[in-house]
């Protein structure tokens, strides 16, 4: 593929849909190419959800397993009805409360999107992003856009255009650079075909927020057999991992200090993921990266993927991470950290 184009666009520009940058990206989508664009969560890698070849290019560019379904991004309810057989009453409540926004709904598929989007399942994952660039691109292309995160499979998700460029330059047609994303972790995925609804992936909308709207909400245990296709992204495969081996350390600062001393004595370069409140707790560590404020978990979510990528630039051998309360968006933070660490927890 030719060199990846980068179109810088002001998310606050008037009549954004008709700006040259959005029009250029929409034209690429119409031609069956794939482009990256910002959402309020992370950058997505988009192609027409109805064109098999476009979807194939997404999987190839990312190196993504073909049984890992994609989320379809829409601009309006008409597009939802085009790809779903019905919108359940509970789903209607969630749409009214949280769309546009970081919530993905798993609904019965009408079969109008590529079979590769759904990984052969009878359901399809749909969301309406709130980011103005994403909305403008979907409207300008007049297409439902299949879009996973715009990174190489297994890497931390991208929250800046440069993250996308570092992972996918030469693999995709273009990148709409709309600046840093907001939430920082991906959308919450909810299966609306179960009673009660089931959270398949925690994200930008918390369980507590969902309960306020629909009452009873279930959590999926996240156990997917090797011969089984997951209903949503992030359920089956290793994700979000930096290059260095990473461990979660629930015991706190004193245990992390012990681990730093032990690893450095072996000649290893050590990194620690911490917060503003505890940044003075680790003297002698090689690389200390601050990931927001513990008192404000949303700031941790916002900075998480950027920090994980920054460790790669620092070339550490091992990373020890603090852990977080799994209330509110902290549940999404711990979900991503656990996957980044490959489930390695040091008690």
282 is in an annotated binding site: no
Asked if residue 112 belongs to a known ligand binding site, the reply is: no
The answer to whether the annotation marks 166 as part of a ligand binding site is: no
d(CA 58, CA 70): 10
48 among annotated binding-site residues: no
Q: Which two tokens stand for residue 24?
A: 């250029």
Say whether 88 counts as a known binding-site residue: no
201 annotated among ligand-binding-site residues = yes
Does 68 appear as a known binding residue?
Answer: yes
Eight-state DSSP code of residue 100: S
Number of Cβ atoms within 10 Å of the Cβ of 208: 12
Q: What whole-number distance in Å separates Cα of residue 85 and Cα of residue 107?
A: 8
DSSP string, 188-256: EEEETTSSSEEEEE--SS-HHHHHHHHS-EEE------TTS--SSTTSSS--S--SSEEEE-TT-HHHH
Residue owning tokens 């001393």: 261
What whole-number distance in Å separates Cα of residue 148 and Cα of residue 69?
Answer: 9
- 147 marked among binding-site residues: yes
To the question of whether residue 171 is assigned a binding role by annotation, the answer is no
- Give the CA distances from residue 18 to residues 102, 135, 161, 178, in Å, rounded to whole numbers and listed in that order: 25, 12, 21, 15
Any binding-site annotation on 123? Answer: yes
Q: Which residues are annotated as a binding site?
A: 41, 64, 68, 73, 123, 127, 147, 149, 157, 187, 201, 240
Q: Which residues are annotated as a binding site for L-threonine?
A: 41, 68, 73, 127, 147, 187
Q: Which residues are annotated as a binding site for ATP?
A: 64, 123, 149, 157, 201, 240
């Amino acid at each position: 593929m030719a060199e990846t184009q980068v179109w810088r666009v002001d998310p606050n520009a008037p009549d954004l849909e008709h700006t040259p940058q959005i029009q250029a990206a929409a034209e690429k989508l119409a031609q069956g190419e794939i482009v990256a664009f910002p959402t309020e969560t992370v950058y997505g890698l988009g192609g027409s959800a109805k064109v098999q070849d476009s979807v194939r290019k997404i999987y190839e560019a990312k190196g993504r397993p073909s049984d890992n379904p994609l989320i379809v991004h829409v601009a309006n309810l008409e597009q939802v009805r085009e790809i779903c057989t019905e919108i359940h009453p509970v789903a209607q409540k969630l749409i009214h409360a949280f769309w546009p926004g970081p919530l993905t709904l798993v609904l019965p598929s009408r079969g109008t999107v590529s079979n590769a989007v759904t990984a052969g399942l009878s359901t399809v994952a749909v969301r309406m992003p709130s980011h103005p660039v994403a909305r403008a691109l979907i409207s300008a292309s007049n297409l439902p856009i299949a879009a996973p995160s715009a990174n190489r499979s297994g890497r931390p998700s991208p929250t800046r255009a440069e993250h996308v460029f570092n992972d996918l330059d030469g693999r995709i047609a273009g990148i709409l650079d709309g600046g840093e994303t907001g939430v920082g972790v991906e959308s919450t995925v909810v299966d609306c075909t179960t009673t009660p609804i089931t959270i398949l992936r925690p994200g930008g909308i918390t369980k507590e927020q969902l309960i306020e709207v629909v009452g009873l909400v279930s959590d999926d245990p996240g156990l997917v057999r090797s011969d089984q296709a997951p209903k949503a992204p992030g359920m089956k495969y290793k994700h979000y991992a930096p290059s260095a081996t990473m461990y979660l350390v629930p015991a706190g600062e004193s245990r992390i200090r012990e681990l730093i001393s032990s690893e450095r004595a072996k000649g290893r370069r050590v990194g620690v993921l911490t917060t503003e409140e505890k940044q003075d707790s680790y003297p002698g560590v090689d690389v200390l990266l601050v990931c927001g404020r513990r008192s404000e978990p949303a700031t941790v979510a916002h900075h998480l993927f950027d920090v994980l990528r920054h460790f790669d630039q620092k070339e550490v051998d091992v990373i020890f991470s603090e852990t977080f309360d799994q209330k509110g968006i902290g549940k999404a933070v711990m979900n991503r950290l656990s996957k980044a660490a490959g489930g390695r927890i040091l008690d």
